[in-house]
Amino acid sequence: MASDGVPQRTGNNLDPWYANYAERAAGLAASEVRALFAVASRPEVVSLAGGMPYVSALPHDLITSSMEKVMRERGATALQYGSGQGIPELREQILDVMALEGIRGSADNVVTATGSQQALDLVAKLFIDPGDVILAESPSYVGALGIFRSYQANVAHVATDENGLIPEALRQTIAALRGQGRRIKFLYTIPNFHNPAGVTLSAERRPEILEICRSNEILVLEDNPYGLLHFDEPAPNALRSLDPEGVIYLGSFSKTLAPGFRVGWALAPHAIREKLILAAESAILSPSSFSQMVVSEYLATADWRAQIDTFRGVYRERKDALIEALGEYLPQLNWTNPNGGFYVWVTMPDVLDSKQMLPRAVKELVAYTPGTAFFADGRGRHAMRLSFCYPTPEAIRLGIRRLATVVNGELDLLDTFAGTGPLQLPPSAGYDSAPPSDLK
Amino acid sequence: MSDSSGLYVVVLAGGISHERDVSLRSGRRVTDALIAAGHRVVLRDPDAGLLPFLANERPDVVFPALHGSSGEDGSLLDLLAAIGVPAVGSSGAAARRAWSKPVASSLISGVGVAVPESIVLSHESFRELGASSVLKVVRSTLEGDLVVKPASGGSAQGVTIVEDTNDLPRAMVEAFTYAEVAVVERRIFGTEIAVTVVDTGDGPRALTAVEIEPTAGVYSFQARYNAGETTFYAPSRLDEETVARVADAAVLAHGTLGLRDLSRVDFIVDAEGTPWFLEANVIPGLTETSLVPLAIEASNTTAAALYGSLVEAARTRSN
DSSP A228-266: T-BSSSPPPPPHHHH-TTTEEEEEESTTTT-GGG--EEE
Q: What is the ipTM of this complex?
A: 0.89
Per-residue pLDDT tens digits for A54-97: 999 999 999 999 999 999 999 999 999 999 999 999 999 999 99
Nearest residue in chain B measured CA to CA from A360: B177
Q: Do B238 and A2 touch (CB under 8 A)?
A: yes
Residue A216: what pLDDT?
98
Which chain B residues touch A5 with a CB distance below 8 Å?
A: 239
CB contacts < 8 A, A to B, total 146
**How far off is chain A from B145, nearest CA to CA, in Å?**
17
CB contact under 8 A, B126 and A417: yes
The C-alpha atoms of residue A369 and residue A410 are separated, in whole angstroms, by 17
Amino acid identity of B14?
A: G
Amino acid at B67: H
Cα(A58)–Cα(A27) distance, integer angstroms: 37
Residue B68's pLDDT band (cuts 50, 70, 90): confident
| H-assigned helices in B191-302 | 221-225, 240-256, 291-298
CA B239 – CA B236 distance, rounded (Å): 8
Residue A196: asked if its preceding bond is cis (omega within 30°), the reply is: yes
Q: Please report the pLDDT score of residue A2 as a whole number.
A: 46
Q: Are A251 and A94 in contact (CB under 8 A)?
A: yes
Residue of A nearest to B160 (CA): A425
Which residues have a Cβ under 8 Å from the Cβ of A177 and sit 6 or more positions away? A133, A156, A184
Choose among B127, B158, B237: nearest Cβ to A416: B127
Q: How many angstroms separate the CA of residue B18 from the nearest CA in chain A?
A: 6
Nearest CB to A1 within list B24, B234, B272: B272
In a 3-state reduction of DSSP, which class is residue B42? Answer: strand
Region B53-63 average pLDDT: 96
pLDDT of residue B87: 97
Q: What is the pLDDT of residue A433?
A: 63
Cβ–Cβ gap B238/A18 under 8 Å: no
Say if pTM beats, i.e. exceeds, 0.95: no
Q: DSSP 3-state assignment of B230? A: strand
pLDDT digits (tens, 9 = 90+) for A318-352: 999 999 999 999 999 999 999 999 999 999 999 99
Inter-chain touch A413–B170, beta carbons under 8 Å:
no
Tell me whether residues A9 and B242 touch, CB distance under 8 A: no
Residue B2 in this model has a pLDDT that exceeds 50: no
Buried b (16+ CB within 10 A) or exposed e, A175-185: eebeeeeeebb
**Cβ pair A356:B173 closer than 8 A:** yes
User: What is the Cα B319 distance to its own chain's centre?
Assistant: 28
